[in-house]
Amino acid sequence: MKKWIIIVVSISLALFLTACGGDTKTESSDKEAMNEKDAFTIGVIPVQTKGAMKEAMDKLQSLLSEKLDREVLIEVFPDYNGVVEAMNYDKIDMAYLGPLTYVIAHEKSGAKAIITQLVDGEPFYHSYIITQNDSEWESLDDLLKNPETIDFAFGDINSTSGSLIPSIELENHGVYKSTENHKFNSIRHTGSHNATALTVQNGDVDAGAIDSAIYNQLIDSGIIDEKKVKIIWKSDKLFQYPWAVHKNTDKETIKDLKEAFLAIEDQVILDAFGASGFTEASNEDYESIRKAAIKQGIIKE
């Protein structure tokens, strides 16, 4: 009889332990799923090559994770449109966008600008058109005297300074309406500011459009040789690239994000964006870009 009782108790104990183990495994899986679900995700446009931004993004990810007290995941997307679509389909919680990409994201999904970068203490930058330093052209008018001989490069088709603003300027000069309708010998889109700068420096095209802050950064880092390129056109001031949150982001998270960015002094992070610091931004700061996008038929009123 005693032996039978011992066997029953042993089986019961084994079943209990197995059940506990199963619960632990389930709880662990649930916890992992919750952590993944609770991660704050950020999409970043490729202002520089992906490899050049990795260290900075790793540092920023760690900094924001600590400030928000939750896991932060940052992904550098291969193109501008990918970030807009990720925000539009609720795949990311925050995005680093060009001004044009931002106004598109705002129109499509209600994205809200909260932070932008400072360059030399100001939240502005320009679009440049650059050419080889030893070329005969000293101004945009010089370049456009014989447009049929010119090979021209834009950056990403959704870039503000690499496409939108210079395309309007070239349209005003009567030499450009679209990639298919223009008076140049050829038009290409390089996909990034780095690529445009190198394409111009190497003489693969005669001229190209680029972000002024990134151009200066490429010069300072030695990626581009200042003796081999020159600026022949400069746009009016453009408000800097915004960091925008999803429309459903709560006020406390926005407050924490602003505090985190405003406190950044890490030079690796700042250098990745050619920035001297960060400052607050709002949707109203991008109204001129919105009007330019409407003019070009990119968004509708």
Question: Residues 72-102: pLDDT tens digits?
Answer: 999 988 888 899 999 999 999 999 999 999 9
Residue 203 lies in a domain: yes
Residue 25 lies in a domain: no
pLDDT digits (tens, 9 = 90+) for 247-282: 999 999 999 999 999 999 999 999 888 889 999 999
| Residues 106, 255 within the same domain | yes
CATH assignment of the domain containing 213: 3.40.190.10
| Residues 254, 111 within the same domain | yes
**66-76: average pLDDT:** 95
* The total number of structural domains that make up the chain: 2
State the amino acid at position 247 in one-letter form.
Answer: K
Q: Say how many C-beta atoms besides its own lie within 10 A of residue 96's C-beta.
A: 25
pLDDT digits (tens, 9 = 90+) for 158-192: 899 999 999 999 999 999 999 999 999 999 999 99
pLDDT of residue 79: 84
Under a CB-based contact definition with an 8 Å cutoff, are residues 241 and 273 in contact? yes
pLDDT of residue 17: 39
| Residues 97, 50 within the same domain | yes
Print the domain residue range for 146: 127-235
Under a CB-based contact definition with an 8 Å cutoff, are residues 274 and 213 in contact? yes
Q: Which residues contact 93 (CB under 8 A, 6 or more apart)?
A: 40, 41, 42, 245, 246, 249
| Residues 103, 62 within the same domain | yes
pLDDT of residue 18: 43
Asked whether the CA dihedral 136, 47, 213, 159 is positive or negative, the reply is positive
Residue 269 CB-half CA count within 13 A:
19
pTM to 2 decimal places: 0.78
Distances 250 to 62, 245, 254, 255, 283 between C-alpha atoms, Å: 21, 10, 6, 9, 17
pLDDT of residue 271: 85
> What's the token pair of residue 7?
């066997």
Residue 45 lies in a domain: yes
pLDDT of residue 73: 96
| Residues 157, 201 within the same domain | yes
| Residues 84, 217 within the same domain | no
Residue 48 lies in a domain: yes
| Residues 278, 221 within the same domain | no
Residue 124 has pLDDT above 80, yes or no: yes
Confidence of residue 54 (pLDDT cuts 50, 70, 90): confident
| Residues 68, 82 within the same domain | yes
Q: Integer distance in angstroms from the first to the last C-alpha of the chain? A: 88
* 127 φ/ψ angles, rounded to the nearest 5 degrees: -95, 135
| Residues 254, 230 within the same domain | no
Residue 51 lies in a domain: yes
Residue 33 lies in a domain: no
| Residues 230, 244 within the same domain | no
pLDDT digits (tens, 9 = 90+) for 190-228: 999 999 999 999 999 999 999 998 999 899 889 999 999
| Residues 134, 221 within the same domain | yes
| Residue after which a domain boundary falls, among 235, 250, 272 | 235
- The most distant pair of C-alpha atoms in the chain lies apart, rounded to whole Å, by 109
Residue 252 lies in a domain: yes
Distances 48 to 9, 89, 238 between C-alpha atoms, Å: 67, 25, 19
pLDDT of residue 150: 98
Order of all β-strands in the sheet with 207-211: 186-189, 151-154, 207-211, 127-132, 229-234
Residue 261's closest CA among 281, 246, 236, 247?
A: 281
Residue 49 lies in a domain: yes
